Amino acid sequence: MESKRLARERKTVEAMIRIYCRGQHGTRAGLCAECGELLAYAHERLERCRFGADKPTCANCPVHCYRPAMRERIRAVMRYAGPRMSYRHPVLTLYHFLDSRRKPPQTGNDE
């Protein structure tokens, strides 16, 4: 069973990709193939996150689980959609801000 925290993270990343796809690729319904692939990849990464419900926001995460090419794509999405999220999804934006204030979990590699 998925935690509320991960479900919210899933909704947030999906909302951001939808905003990006509509603004950059002109899609009106659904997602283009490129953005659909990125969304599927992001969902897979969330599903496999080693921190589970304690997952920090990506900017605060000590482990970068995205492949470099996908990381650049999601960064472009976040740069574009981030400022627009507060207008389109104010509640998700508030929760994301609060989640970003959480301390990142320890990876066990700190010595």
Enter the pTM of the model: 0.88
> CB of 77 within 8 A of CB of 17?
yes
Q: How far is CA 102 from CA 60, 89, 93, 96, in A?
A: 9, 21, 15, 10
pLDDT in tens, the chain (111 residues): 578 888 999 999 999 999 999 999 999 889 999 999 999 999 999 999 888 888 888 888 888 889 999 999 999 999 999 999 999 999 999 998 888 887 777 765 544
The Cα 60–Cα 88 span in angstroms is 24
Q: Is the dihedral of CA 76, 67, 104, 90 positive or negative?
A: positive
